[in-house]
Structure 1
Amino acid sequence: MRNILLALLLNIVVFADGYRDFATAMSYETNYETALKRAKAENKNLMVLMVTNYCPWCSKFEKRTLMDANIDKTIKAKYIPLIINKDEKNFPPFLNVPVVPTTFFIDPSSEESFHQSVGFSNKIDFANLLEALK
């Protein structure tokens, strides 16, 4: 039991900044206020991905779906992408959700979500969602 707990803690420590590595590699914002200012300046909506350190589905969504070149191109054409770690509690209260990953699509002028997607989405489903939100 002790070894399992040590392995779990090591996993959390090793992957704690995984979302920041993803954000850097994919040019996602990591601060809500910065992303909101960019969205207003560029006349785009926000796409906010809420994740946690210990969520395997968050990591899978990042790697299997969001890192796809076509998905990334579509996102960046219409949205300012933002990834937030729920554990850091540095986000507006309306983004606080019980399940991660959760993806919000937000109008920057009203700061209201016009769509929310909960859980992992594969490339095809997420591409279909992006197309439907046009």
Structure 2
Amino acid sequence: MRKIFILLLLVNLLFSEEIGELTFSNDYKKVMAQAKKENKRVYMLITSSSCRWCRKFESTTLTDWTVAEKLEGKYLLLHIDRDNDYFPKHLKHKRVPRHYFLTPDEQVIYTFLGYWNVEDFTSYVDDVDWQYSDKLKKGIIK
């Protein structure tokens, strides 16, 4: 039993990473399946290991408690390395950091590019909430 617990812990560590107070997964298929099951939206951050703006966003904006408060509970968190992790080709990823907010059915609610400070990023998250409500109301997304 103890060996199984340790094995499960190691598997969880392989497929997730902690940034500040937030825990991200890097398994696109698993997160999207969980989103459908829990009917939750997904915040997907696409980065690259060679991107200094990605590291700055991770070490400053994503470590702030107000960002954690905005994202936690409302979104499942997905952090994809464009060079190593799987995600659908139709999601643009040539320039990073790229931010996607997705429905449980993988529809794009909102996307934007670049490094953003805490104030600007939380403003974008508020815009996503508005966009989601508006697109639902208009029947653009389900």
TM > 0.5: yes
| CA deviation profile, 1:31-85 (whole Å, cap 9, x unmatched) | 0011112212222111100000100000111111111111012111211010000
1:68 maps to which of 64, 74, 85: 64
Amino acid at match of 1:91: F
Deviation at 1:89, TM superposition (A): 4.7
Q: TM-score, normalised by structure 1?
A: 0.77
Structure 1 residue ranges (4+ consecutive) displaced by more than 4 angstroms after TM superposition: none
**Alignment check: 8 A CA contact 1:71 1:123 kept:** yes
What percent identity do the matched residue pairs reach? Answer: 29
Please give the TM-score of this superposition, normalised by the length of structure 2.
0.73
Question: Paired residue for 2:18?
Answer: 24
* Alpha-carbon contact 1:50-1:86 (below 8 Å) kept: yes
Q: Which has the higher helix share?
A: 1
1:65/1:74 CA distance change after superposition, 3 Å: same
Residue aligning to 2:46: 50
Q: Distance in 1 between matches of 2:128 and 2:58?
A: 20
How do residues 1-134 of structure 1 correspond to structure 2 at under 5 angstroms? 23-25=17-19, 26-109=22-105, 111-134=106-129
**What is the CA–CA distance in structure 2 between the aligned matches of 1:43 and 1:74, rounded to whole Å?**
18
Root mean square deviation, CA, Å: 1.7
Tell me the residue number matched to 2:3. Answer: none
Letter in 2 for 1:94: H
